[in-house]
Amino acid sequence: MQVDALPEGHPARRLHGHSFLARARVAPVDAGSSVAMQLNAAVAPLDYRLLNDVISLPTDENIVRWIATALAPLTPESVGVQSTRDTGVDLDPAGRAHLWRRFRFEAAHRLPRVPAGHPCGRMHGHGFEVILHVEQDLGVRDIGIDYDAIAALWAPLHAQLHHRCLNDVPGLENPTSEMLARWVWQALSPRLPELSWVSVHETATAGCHFDGQDWRIWKETRFESAVHVAPASGHEACLHGHSYVCRLHLAAPLDEVLGWTIDFGDVRAAFTPVFSLLDHHRLDGPAMPDPSPAALLGWMREACAPHLPALERIDLYDTPTTGAMLWWGERGPALPGLMP
Supply the residues annotated as catalytic: 120, 163, 202
For residues 238 and 170, is the Cβ–Cβ distance under 8 A? Answer: no
Spacing of C-alpha 81 from chain mean position: 13
Is the separation of the CB atoms in 267 and 308 below 8 Å?
Answer: yes
Q: How many helices (H) and strands (E) does the chain have?
A: 6, 13
Contact status, residue 90 vs residue 24, Cβ threshold 8 Å: no
* Gap between the Cα atoms of 340 and 326, Å rounded: 16
CB 125 within 8 A of CB 115: no
The SS3 call for residue 196 is: strand
224 to 30, 62, 244: CA distances (angstroms): 27, 38, 6
Q: C-alpha 217: how far from its chain's center?
A: 12
Strand 78-84 vs strand 87-91: parallel, antiparallel, or unpaired?
A: antiparallel
**Beta-carbon neighbour count of residue 296 at 10 Å?**
24
Report the distance separating Cα 317 and Cα 222, nearest Å.
Answer: 10
Given a contact cutoff of 8 angstroms between Cβ atoms, the answer to whether 77 and 26 are in contact is yes
Give me the residues paired with residue 134 across strands.
99, 195
Distance CA 331, CA 172 (A): 28
Q: How many Cβ atoms are within 10 Å of 264's Cβ, its own excluded?
A: 21
Q: Taking a C-beta distance cutoff of 8 angstroms, is the pair 18, 84 a contact?
A: yes
Q: What is the DSSP letter of 285?
A: B
Radius of gyration, alpha carbons of the chain: 21
